[in-house]
Amino acid sequence: MKYLFFILLLFIGFFSESQQVGYVDFKMAKVDVIFGDLLKREISGAILYEFKVLKDIDSIYIDARSFEEIEYILDGKFEGNLYNGKQLIIKHPFKANSNHKVNITWKTNPKKAMYFIDWNHDESITSRDSLQVNCINKQIWTQGQGKYTSNWLPSFDDMNEKVEFDLSVSVNEGYDVIANGKLIEKTVNGDYTKWQYNMEQPMSSYLVALAIGKYDKKVAYSKSGILLEMYYYPEDSLKFEPTYRYTKQMFDFLEEEIGVPYPWQNYKQVPVKDFLYAGMENTGTTIFSDAFVVDSIAFVDKNYVNVNAHELAHQWFGNLVTETSGTHHWLQEGFATYYALLAERNIFGDNYYYWRLYEYAQELLEQHNTRRSTSLLDPKSSSITFYKKGAWVLHLLREKVGDRAFKKAVRNYLKKHQFKNVETDDFINEVEKASGKDLKAFVEAWLETKKFNYDEALKSLEKSVFMQEYLMVDCTAYTSKCSGYLLSGISDEAKIKVIFQMPNRLKKEDFKNSLKVRQAIAKSISKVPEEFKKEYETFLDDKSYVTIEAALFGLWNSFPKEQSKYLEKTKGIEGFNDKNIRTLWLTLALVTDDFEPENKELFFNELLDYTNAKYGFEIRMNAFNYLMWISSCGEKCRENLKQATKHHNWQFSKFAKKMLKVK
């Protein structure tokens, strides 16, 4: 009997996953989420779904992965708890054109898709100056794409099922809750605060999101009147402007360029610790890595602008219209990459736009040369294909049909399929209608084949005078002409190309250049010649953490007798959020014999402390690398490394496992 029951559950699961959208249309979800013991990662809740049956069916399913408890009441009278560990199954003789409500209650400890950050740490730590610093940033945040929202909320792994989700979240008082939609009410009940958010339009379940933590925010309004909410950690108030620089300009540009009004009530952005990716375009609520929270110096080398524009573009391409399956993933990532480039072009100019396309082409060429190229319509393609080949396709398609037809097609495509799911033909058909051109050959050459047509891409780039100049410059075989390039009026990109083609032919005058060119010089020299010592020392004053890091190590490595001088010069610099300069500085201070011997223990303890889980994984990676480099990863370091192998960020856990093998 148990065997037959198991087979029944498998059959129901298979049937529902492949065909349920054609039989049932879920319309509305009223969600109440309550966070219990946060140390145990306990959540419970209730969700009321309203749905319409399209065809006769004897059971429906709702995805719910590894829940401890889950049960339902259908239409206020039919109770049940049929559950196979992945799906709640509601058996009932549903009739076509009937409307129903199902109330689901549940309890779970999510292992994926919802992440509890720093709840096992004390609120404060002791800094290197023996001052109490609030360093622990307790957070909870979600990531539904690829991990499935159904790990914490009974919902739908099938992105073709779109529902209007209204979330209410109850959590300990003192924490802010940011979620999809408009905040309509906030009520305090004892030790808990309830945050109620309202959505007005449907979305796929993977785009449901919440972030909980301690934040401040600033607001702005788009030209069209959309509220833009930009969150930041209270201690990062001075980093707010460089972090969110150009946000309103990009929002206004994309609304005008796309030609379709922003489709949601408001737009929120919130940084979180140890995020899985650069950012995630949840509906109206982008969550992004706090590695992109930068000061004005860091902005030069590593900023949020591209990620900001990319996730914003997804609000139309991915959220308003959503792929039916991975076969059409480029409709989301290719479009977001392309429109992000257009937004950056509006800020930084045409040369920047063509340069980025050139960089994308180089990556695609390398992928092709190493026989890793795949079709843009292959659901197993790489990110390089989906993102960068997708962007190239749109760039070339626009050139082929013209601006007017392209923009008209995009508008019609979005309006016709808004709040629905799409396939590649849906877009191509609109372009053909708007342009009057047959695009069959274009689709075959750029979407269906594995090959990246590099020569054709290059012809497009050569329409830019800037790119003509860059491609013409060649100093792989040194000529007298090359000696004057770095002091000429050619672009910074061309100068950087020359620097790495002839690193041993630099002159003192070449150091009198722009910040980016000076950075390239700093990175190109591993051993600083005595004749350039004075010029190279000026890099330590540049407004670039990349340049300072390269210069500090280069000078320290090249002039042993003056190591202490260079350490004194850079003593208080932290660098990016990953403390790139501070961790290098501590390492060099430890191995410089005559530098502050009385403080060696303090330096070591600080570097070792950065391997602790209370810090972001980027900081920890730097600390682990340097401790390994100086052969000082002892018992505590190895203990923290073992803990890191279980980290939710797969890149960091992979790094830690590799490090342990090396050790």
Quick one: CA dihedral 22, 23, 28, 34, positive or negative? negative
DSSP H/E element including 355 = helix 350-369
Give SS3 for 643: helix
Question: How far, in Å, CA of 283 to CA of 470, rounded?
Answer: 40
What is the predicted pLDDT for the residue at 1?
Answer: 41
Q: What angle do CA 155, 204, 335 make, to 5 degrees?
A: 150
What is the predicted pLDDT for the residue at 11?
Answer: 44
Q: Does residue 656 contact residue 646 with C-beta atoms inside 8 Å?
A: no
Which of 501, 565, 498 lies closest to 533, judged by CA? 565
Please spell the DSSP secondary structure of 248-291, one letter per residue.
Answer: HHHHHHHHHHH-S---SSEEEEEEETT-SSSEEEETTEEEEEGG
Is 15 exposed, middle or buried, given 0-12, 13-18 or 19+ CB atoms closer than 10 A? Answer: middle
What is the predicted pLDDT for the residue at 547?
Answer: 98
- Answer yes or no: same fold for 321-466 and 523-662: no
Which of 34, 288, 325 lies closest to 204, judged by CA? 325
Which of 579, 561, 506, 564 lies closest to 536, judged by CA? 506
- For the record, the structure tokens of 636 come out as 């505590």
The residues, ordered by sequence, that sit 6+ positions from 507 with a Cβ below 8 Å of its Cβ are 483, 486
What is the predicted pLDDT for the residue at 55?
Answer: 97
Question: How far, in Å, CA of 34 to CA of 342, rounded?
Answer: 42
Question: How far, in Å, CA of 576 to CA of 86, rounded?
Answer: 42
> What is the reported pTM?
0.94
Q: Which position has the token pair 């002091």?
A: 487
Question: How far, in Å, CA of 279 to CA of 194, rounded?
Answer: 26
What is the predicted pLDDT for the residue at 147?
Answer: 84
CATH code for the structural domain at 321-466: 1.10.390.10
301-307, Cβ contacts within 8 angstroms, sequence gap of 24 or more: 301/519, 301/544, 301/545, 301/546, 301/576, 302/546, 302/576, 303/242, 303/243, 303/245, 304/243, 304/244, 304/245, 305/245, 305/246, 305/250, 305/344, 305/347, 306/340, 306/344, 307/278, 307/279
- For the record, the structure tokens of 540 come out as 């330590």
Which of 107, 65, 72 lies closest to 91, judged by CA? 72
Quick one: CA dihedral 271, 275, 280, 285, positive or negative? negative
What is the predicted pLDDT for the residue at 19?
Answer: 67
The ranges assigned to domains in the chain are: 321-466, 523-662
Give SS3 for 657: helix
The residues, ordered by sequence, that sit 6+ positions from 467 with a Cβ below 8 Å of its Cβ are 354, 355, 358, 461
CATH code for the structural domain at 523-662: 1.25.40
What is the predicted pLDDT for the residue at 438?
Answer: 98
Query: Phi, psi (5° rounding) for residue 75?
Result: 55, 30
Query: Phi, psi (5° rounding) for residue 210?
Result: -150, 150
What is the predicted pLDDT for the residue at 459?
Answer: 97
The residues, ordered by sequence, that sit 6+ positions from 585 with a Cβ below 8 Å of its Cβ are 552, 567, 570, 571, 573
What is the predicted pLDDT for the residue at 483?
Answer: 85
Give SS3 for 143: coil
Q: Does residue 248 contact residue 222 with C-beta atoms inside 8 Å?
A: yes
Q: What residues of the chain score a pLDDT lower than 70?
A: 1-19, 122-135, 663
Query: Phi, psi (5° rounding) for residue 152?
Result: -130, -15
Which of 64, 63, 60, 71 lies closest to 100, judged by CA? 60
